[in-house]
Amino acid sequence: MNILILSVGTRNKVVQYFCKALTAQGSVVATDCSKLAPAIYDADKYYIVPPMSEPGYLDAILGICKKEKINGVISLIDPELSLLIKNEDKFSAIGCTVISSSYELCEMSLNKYEMYKWLVGHGYRCAKSYTDKEVFFEAVRRGEIAYPVFVKPICGSASIAISKVYDQDTVELLFSHSEGLMIQEFLNGQEIGADVYIDMISGEVVSIFTKRKLKMRAGETDKAVSFKDQKLFDLIERFVTEAGYWGQIDIDIFEIKGEYYISEVNPRFGGGYPHAYECGCDHMKLILNNLKGIPNVKNIGAYNEGVYMMKYNEVIIKE
């Protein structure tokens, strides 16, 4: 059993956890477009590949899958997920499973406004969002939304190019300098992260881990504490099942006055996943079971509350 992890970057822990899960069973192969991506050095083997935007990228990945007899391939960045699942037939033809939700869900998750429309259309609480600034300004005049708000790219990740805005002039300025922006309501509440695994055989949600985020850094959870709430578990299970997600996903949620608002979904391992793993939610094992044709047993909330995660910097020295 061999796993290929693409665009590993600084996700050393994810690579390490897969290596541990595959001890004496197989190998973990990692890729990145830079030799300065520290996580490649935790894999059993690594390849430096072109950026995914280059024409020969997919062929390079398929070539690695053939050479290394890869059974399952997974990516740790959002745009690559769509590329993989769109070409699922090419991977399947060489005996490799793409560990991902559907192409439509990957695209919707990447497009924050499409996600907003889906959430509203299916009755879930979420932040009010606008792509037309004039419609937003009118909503402000009617008292339907108030400053501050966030102005962000419709398609983006890692909190890149997000601005917290307090007045109309700043909104006008940002929209005049960039295209593809949206305005999103500022949800003033407790931010929550959920690491969820949906069995790739049964389609059932089998694992949910939730944490209250205490501090963020570069769009990722820096400090957090685990907690449980059956109301939240039920909401996540209903949402994930209704949307049709598959495999590993990461959900951002806000709690405001006892109600939960769904913010964003990343159909991959999130930066805060190590918290879930160290608390006993081993989603690497769940993935390997599915690749072997074994459905996983439902075990939601199988972890202790009040366990803190604190990230810190580490270094790798190479010549």
Q: In sequence order, which residues have a C-beta less than 8 Å from that of residue 155 and are 6 or more positions away?
A: 110, 111, 112, 180
User: CATH 3.30.470.20 occupies which residues in the chain?
Assistant: 189-310
Average pLDDT over residues 149-174: 87
Q: What is the pLDDT of residues 56-99, one digit of tens each?
A: 999 999 999 999 999 999 999 998 999 999 999 999 999 999 99
If one looks up domain 3-100 in CATH, what number appears? 3.40.50.20
- Burial, 308: exposed, middle or buried (Cβ in 10 Å; 0-12, 13-18, 19+)? exposed
Instruction: Tell me: pLDDT of 218 over 90.
Output: no
313 pLDDT above the threshold of 90: no
Assign 238 to helix, strand or coil. Answer: helix
For residue 284, the model assigns a pLDDT of 98
What is the rounded distance in angstroms from the CA atom of residue 17 to the CA atom of residue 72? 15
pLDDT tens digits, one per residue of 300-310: 999 999 999 99
Please report the pLDDT score of residue 120 as a whole number: 98
- pLDDT greater than 70 at residue 243: yes
Tokens in use for 182? 């949206």
> Angle at the Cα of 271 (from 256 to 29), degrees rounded to 5?
155
Q: What is the CB neighbour count within 10 angstroms for residue 25?
A: 11
> Does the pLDDT value for residue 289 go beyond 80?
yes
pLDDT of residue 319: 85
The residue-averaged pLDDT of 52-56 equals 92
pLDDT at position 53 over 60: yes
Instruction: Provide the strand spans (E) within the chain.
Output: 3-6, 28-32, 45-48, 72-75, 97-98, 129-130, 149-153, 163-165, 181-185, 190-198, 205-217, 220-227, 247-256, 259-266, 308-310
- Element at 172 (helix H, strand E): helix 168-177
Please tell me the pTM assigned to this model: 0.94
Could you report the per-residue pLDDT of 121-139, keeping only the tens digit for each? 999 999 999 999 999 999 9
State yes or no: pLDDT of 160 exceeds 70.
Answer: no
Taking the domain 128-185, which CATH number applies? Answer: 3.30.1490.20
Right CATH for 189-310 from 3.30.470.20, 3.40.50.720, 3.30.420.40, 3.90.1010.10: 3.30.470.20
Task: Indicate whether 157 pLDDT > 70.
Answer: no
Question: What pLDDT, on the 0 to 100 scale, is given for residue 106?
Answer: 96
Whether 66 and 48 have beta carbons less than 8 Å apart is answered as no
Q: Is the model's pLDDT at 159 over the cut of 60? A: no
Q: What is the mean pLDDT of residues 35-57?
A: 96
Instruction: List, by residue range, all CATH 3.40.50.20 domains of the chain.
Output: 3-100
Q: How far apart are CA 253 and CA 209, in angstroms?
A: 13
> Between these two residues, 13 and 160, which has the higher pLDDT value?
13
Q: Is the pLDDT of residue 158 over 60?
A: no
| Band of pLDDT at residue 178, cut at 50, 70 and 90 | confident
Q: What is the pLDDT of residue 221?
A: 82
The predicted structure's pLDDT at residue 254: 98
